[in-house]
Structure formats: C-alpha cells, structure tokens
C-alpha cells in the first residue's frame, strides 16, 4: 500500500496526504526527475528564476529537474511547519518524514526559498501556527517578522 494519496488541499489546489500512520524518518516517495548538469541549468532559461522549485541540488556536478507530470512528489505543498524533508542519496532524491505523521495529515516540506525582494510573490497558506505568510526558508523567516 502506498503511504500517500493525492487529495484536494487547503494549502494549494491539491496535495499529498498520509494514507496511514508514518513513522519519523520513513522514506515516503521518490522525488523523480531528470538528472541534469549544472552547466545545463545555467544554459537553460527555464531555470532563470532563482525559485525554480522543482530543481534539486544532487552534488557539485548534477541537479535533478523534477518538473515532470510523472513526479507525483512535486504536488507536495510548502509549509512553515513541515513534516517532511527532501534530500538526495546518491543520484536519487527522496521525501522523508521528519516526525511521526498521522494518517490523514497533509505532507509538506520547506521549499527553501531564499529571502529577496520578490518574496511577496509567494504567499503561504499553510495555516500552521508558525506561518509567516510567505514561502521563505526557515533560516530567513526572521527577516519577514522584523518587517511586520
Ligand atoms: Zn506558512
């Protein structure tokens, strides 16, 4: 049985939800895509935006472009208080639980957007107590709080 299912989300259109209780550190779903070189990323205008949210750093030489329909994991929404994390092992990228997740909870991770002058273009509707209202990575959220 799959650990997740696709469902309507309050955060953004649709999302992935836990289909059963998931223990901390469980590999939930592979973040599928195409391995490309950093050079290809530099040369392709598709990745011009710093916030190419489906692009993951694999190592010094390679990135993974997950911007494909078959990559179900791309439906996972951002949250300011996420229950998952995405990281690579070898040339594969996986979504892992970072705490115990209850059946029916929406799966989320921190999109890791940097703080810049465009941050207001990416509002966050995660609804968590920690929400700062915009999609900005955890380490930079204090900047937004200061501005309030
Ligand atoms: Zn939020």
Question: Tell me: the pLDDT tens digits for 73-109?
Answer: 999 999 999 999 998 888 899 999 999 999 999 999 9
Query: Is position 78 within any domain?
Result: yes
Contact between 135 and 113 under an 8 Å Cβ cutoff? The reply is yes
| Strand, coil or helix: 74 | helix
Which one has a higher pLDDT value, 115 or 104?
104
At 112 the pLDDT is 87
C-alpha 104: how far from its chain's center? 19
Query: Is position 148 within any domain?
Result: no
Query: Is position 134 within any domain?
Result: no
Strands lying side by side in the sheet with 92-97? 27-30, 92-97, 84-89
Quote the ligand 1 centre to 43 CA distance (angstroms): 33
Quote the ligand 1 centre to 80 CA distance (angstroms): 4
Domains held by the chain: number: 1
Distant-in-sequence, close-in-space partners of 94: CB < 8 Å, separation ≥ 6: 27, 28, 29, 30, 31, 86, 87, 88
Question: Tell me: the pLDDT tens digits for 22-58?
Answer: 999 999 999 999 999 999 999 988 887 666 678 888 8
At 17 the pLDDT is 98
Query: Is position 73 within any domain?
Result: yes
Length of the chain: 148
Cβ-based neighbour number of residue 8 at 10 Å: 8
| Strand, coil or helix: 91 | coil
Quote the ligand 1 centre to 108 CA distance (angstroms): 10
DSSP secondary structure string for all residues of 111-140: --PPP-TTGGGSB-----TT--SB---GGG
Query: Is position 137 within any domain?
Result: no
Query: Is position 132 within any domain?
Result: no
- Give the range of the structural domain holding residue 95, as residue numbers without chain letter: 4-115
Query: Is position 29 within any domain?
Result: yes
At 148 the pLDDT is 46
Quote the ligand 1 centre to 38 CA distance (angstroms): 30
Backbone angles phi, psi at 86, to 5 degrees: -115, 125
Query: Is position 89 within any domain?
Result: yes
Q: Tell me the torsion sign for CA atoms 67, 70, 75, 76.
A: negative
Number of H helices and E strands in the chain, helices first, is: 2, 10
At 103 the pLDDT is 98
């Amino acid at each position: 049985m799959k650990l997740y299912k696709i469902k309507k989300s309050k955060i953004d259109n649709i999302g992935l939800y836990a289909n059963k209780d998931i223990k901390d550190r469980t590999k939930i779903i592979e973040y599928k895509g195409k391995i490309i070189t950093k050079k290809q990323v530099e040369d392709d205008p598709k990745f011009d935006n710093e916030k190419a949210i489906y692009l993951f750093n694999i190592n010094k030489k390679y990135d993974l472009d997950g911007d494909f329909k078959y990559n179900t994991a791309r439906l996972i929404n951002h949250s300011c208080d996420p229950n998952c994390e995405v990281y690579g092992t070898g040339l594969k990228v996986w979504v892992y639980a970072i705490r115990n997740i209850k059946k029916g909870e929406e799966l989320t991770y921190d999109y890791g957007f940097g703080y810049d002058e465009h941050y207001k273009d990416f509002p966050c509707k995660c609804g968590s107590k920690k929400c700062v209202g915009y999609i900005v990575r955890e380490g930079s959220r204090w900047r937004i709080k200061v501005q309030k």
